[in-house]
């Protein structure tokens, strides 16, 4: 959440994201707590991955590396 709060400054949105991350996951009708991370394929997954990848991109640029980030689209 600290990384997210560097990019997003709306307190209501940060609270919503935090609640979503702590809401748990449902597997076979049972809800299990989420202790670490974000489930792959969840609606927040692209947002949170871009927050982390933005920092990685800036570090690679700082070090003078040439790189390209490729995305694949699920069909």
Position 73 pLDDT exceeds 70: no
pLDDT of residue 12: 96
Q: Give me the pLDDT at residue 35, please.
A: 76
Domain ranges of the chain: 2-62
Q: What is the pLDDT of residues 20-49, one digit of tens each?
A: 888 888 889 998 887 777 767 778 888 888
pLDDT band at 2 (very low <50, low <70, confident <90, very high): confident
Supply the pLDDT for residue 28: 93
Instruction: Give pLDDT, residue 63.
Output: 96
Provide the token pair at 50.
């871009």
Structural contact between residues 38 and 45, judged by C-beta atoms closer than 8 angstroms: yes
- Contact yes or no for 55/2 (Cβ under 8 A): no
Whole-number Cα distances in Å, 47 to 41, 55, 57: 11, 13, 15
């Amino acid at each position: 959440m600290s990384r997210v709060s560097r990019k997003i400054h709306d307190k209501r949105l940060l609270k919503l994201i935090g609640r979503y991350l702590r809401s748990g996951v449902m597997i076979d009708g049972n809800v299990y707590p989420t202790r670490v991370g974000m489930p792959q394929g969840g609606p927040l997954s692209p947002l949170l991955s871009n927050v982390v990848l933005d920092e990685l991109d800036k570090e690679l640029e700082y070090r003078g590396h040439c790189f390209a980030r490729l995305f694949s689209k699920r069909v």
